[in-house]
Amino acid sequence: MESLYWLLVATIILVIFILLNYNDNRKNHPPGPPPWPIIGNFNLIGPLPHISLHNLSKKYGKLMYLKFGSVPVVVVSSPDMARQFLRTHDHIFASRPTTAAGKHTTYNYRAISWAPYGPYWSQARKIYLSELFSSKRLDSYEYIRVEERNIFLSRLHKMVGVPIVLKEQIKHSNLSMISRILLGRKYFSESNDEKEIVTLKEFQEILDEWILLNGVLNIGDWIPWMEFMDLQGYVKRMKAMFERFDRFNEHVLQDHMARMKAEKDGFVAKDMVDSLLKLVDDPDLEVKLDSDCVKGLTQDLLVGGTETSAPVIEWAMSELMKQPTLIKKATEELDRVIGKDRWVDEHDHPNLPFIDSVIKETMRLHPLTVLLAPHVALHDCKVAGYDIAKGTTIFINLWAMGRNSSIWDDPECFRPERFLGKDIDMKGQHFELLPFGSGRRMCPGYNLGLKITRSLLANMLHGFDWTLPDDMKKEDINMDEMYGSAITTNGNLLCVDSPYNFSIFISLIFIFSGNFQLNKWKQLKMLASKIYISTQKPLRFETQRANQMSESRPMLHEFMKIAVPFAISYPATLALCNLQGLNVVLVRRPQGVTSLNL
């Protein structure tokens, strides 16, 4: 009797499934595996979905049709098909699906990353372009990138010989850079002395959690009637993470609003939040902005600017450490083009084709967003003769495209030389390499992302030798992927070895007049640090008046903290100080001078 009951239930489910799929089955879909009732093809998707989909595409082809739960999904695994979706029919596929992440972690789709295609999204992209990503704006923030780059390099100097998790150091630098550009200053504390609303560690935890939760396959998004159960617990985590993120965003907003209120008509926008706030009452805007929009749009950039370059650089370094000959080639190029007496600047990048090829090769084998961000069809459409229904989610499998042997020779091998002399850029024009996507939804921050990535990677290679910790071999480098909206490694340990390249001398002249309150030792430390993080060019500071002196003191204190260990412990350093008037020359040579000469 009981078995008859279960047979009846199974038959009813089957009939409902057949009826629901009747219309669907009459369509000319791309090939794909047959779906199961309720779960669709979820049974074929493992913990790294891009790899499962890559394996399936070997059987079903470059355009593949699946069901994730009840949602139709098309997976694209070739450049010619990617072109169809991101260029030929871009206007149809420029929207995003509705997801729990969009609702619970981006102020109900007010951040543009999950915003549906439409007036709000297009207005926000225009604001981004004019306020942040235009060449003029990007140039105006170059000084911040240079300052933060130097602080990053000086932090590395301090860590000589100590195994570090590189990714964390780079994220720290990215976060500092992007916070200063967007928020005007860092709103997180880096040491116990500072009191901010979050510590660096807490803020990084929030961002990491955001990245993870915005990339997961949340069952409720695909099987809507199961949404309330939150089977994987992701929605609960989203809400908890968002509460912390919003507390931070709200604090930043209130801080900016207070200045705006205090300065009234004299208020001048100094950063992105200011610019957005000024637009809140703009009657000319097609879609009105409220404070959640300001927070959502700022949050998008904070995440995009912080959680992107770090994994790319970490992948690049992990690959390079496996092939030391590549590091040699990169440093030869840097020595030849940059020389040994300065850091690499942004305007040098066009002259560093090998470094550029390393970045392209990294993005080919380890694209950050392996399946791009999901796109969704706004209308029914035909692509390559197949029917694609309104509401279908499109995944462009960049990971599979990077491993396609009909496009790339020996695709599993990390070989930057393959890009040398080839006209393949990363700006969405060459569909075999789309790390930033292409078309309307392409990453708006690609230029900034590339500037930061190139600059940090080139200077890390230019300024330091890199080794693995003592007990580690090349084979032990962890290349396992951690899934999220950005794919990253587990965080390899690397050692910053000796500072590498600089046989140059640096001269620095401080001329102070008036009474200098700090003792001589502090002065020396200050100098050393200033010299240390300088761009290796002769540098001249003149401070004529006491008030100017006090203005520069906090900055000098900061330098001091950074450089003490370097100045006193680094053998190839000579500092000559004339402490009356503080006239200093510091010389560093790898094989030359061996003591710190006071």
Contact residues: ligand HEM, CB under 6 A: 112-113, 300-301, 304-305, 308-309, 312, 368-369, 372-373, 435-437, 441-445, 448-449, 453
Residue 78: partners with Cβ closer than 8 Å, 6 or more residues away: 62, 63, 401, 404
Q: Which is nearer to ligand HEM, 365 or 527 (CB)?
A: 365
CA distance 532 to 517: 23
Could you tell me the two tokens for 569? 């412990």
Q: What is the DSSP letter of 265?
A: G
CB of 581 vs ligand HEM, minimal distance in Å: 44
Per the DSSP assignment, residues forming a β-bridge with 494 are 164
Q: Which is nearer to ligand HEM, 101 or 563 (CB)?
A: 101
CA distance 144 to 147: 5
Q: What is the DSSP letter of 190?
A: S
Q: Which is nearer to ligand HEM, 366 or 588 (CB)?
A: 366
Q: Which is nearer to ligand HEM, 167 or 588 (CB)?
A: 167
CA distance 352 to 298: 33
First and final C-alpha spacing in the chain: 97
- How far is CA 230 from each of CA 109, 233, 581, rounded to the nearest angstrom? 20, 5, 68
Query: Which residue, among 361, 348, 368, has the nearest Cα to 320 in the 3D structure?
Result: 361
CB of 463 vs ligand HEM, minimal distance in Å: 21
Q: Is 122 exposed, middle or buried (0-12, 13-18, 19+ CB in 10 A)?
A: middle
Q: Which amino acid type is present at position 398?
A: L
164, 175 in Cβ contact below 8 A?
no
Q: Which is nearer to ligand HEM, 436 or 500 (CB)?
A: 436
Q: Among positive and negative, which fits the CA dihedral 211, 213, 215, 221?
A: negative
CA distance 203 to 41: 37
Residue 454: partners with Cβ closer than 8 Å, 6 or more residues away: 346, 349, 352, 355, 356, 359
Q: Which residue is nearest to ligand HEM (CB)?
A: 445
Q: Which is nearer to ligand HEM, 94 or 533 (CB)?
A: 94
CB of 308 vs ligand HEM, minimal distance in Å: 3
CB of 194 vs ligand HEM, minimal distance in Å: 24
Burial 290-314 (b: 16+ CB within 10 A, else e): ebbbbbbbbbbbbbbbbbbbbbbbb
CB of 579 vs ligand HEM, minimal distance in Å: 44
Place of tokens 């969009």: 102
CB of 561 vs ligand HEM, minimal distance in Å: 28
3-class DSSP state for residue 69? coil
- How far is CA 514 from each of CA 213, 518, 520, 539, rounded to the nearest angstrom? 57, 12, 15, 21
CB of 84 vs ligand HEM, minimal distance in Å: 14
CB of 324 vs ligand HEM, minimal distance in Å: 25
CB of 511 vs ligand HEM, minimal distance in Å: 40
Q: Which is nearer to ligand HEM, 317 or 586 (CB)?
A: 317
CB of 76 vs ligand HEM, minimal distance in Å: 11
Q: Which is nearer to ligand HEM, 76 or 151 (CB)?
A: 76
463, 114 in Cβ contact below 8 A?
no
Q: Which is nearer to ligand HEM, 113 or 573 (CB)?
A: 113
- DSSP calls for 109-138: TTSTTTPPSSHHHHHHHHHHIIIIISHHHH
**Has 495 been labeled as part of a binding site?**
no
Q: Which is nearer to ligand HEM, 220 or 445 (CB)?
A: 445
CB of 375 vs ligand HEM, minimal distance in Å: 6
CA distance 452 to 320: 19
395, 374 in Cβ contact below 8 A?
yes
Place of tokens 């990363």: 426
Query: Which residue, among 216, 201, 209, has the nearest Cα to 239 in the 3D structure?
Result: 209
Q: Which is nearer to ligand HEM, 72 or 97 (CB)?
A: 97
Q: Which is nearer to ligand HEM, 315 or 532 (CB)?
A: 315
CA distance 349 to 363: 17
Q: Is 222 exposed, middle or buried (0-12, 13-18, 19+ CB in 10 A)?
A: buried
For residue 61, which phi and psi values (nearest 5 degrees)?
Answer: 105, 180
- Rounded to 5°, angle at Cα 310 from 133 and 341: 85
Q: Which is nearer to ligand HEM, 453 or 543 (CB)?
A: 453
CB of 180 vs ligand HEM, minimal distance in Å: 12
Per DSSP, helices labelled H in 499-586 are: 520-532, 546-569
CB of 138 vs ligand HEM, minimal distance in Å: 10
Question: Which residues define the annotated binding site?
Answer: 443
Question: Which residues define the annotated binding site for heme?
Answer: 443
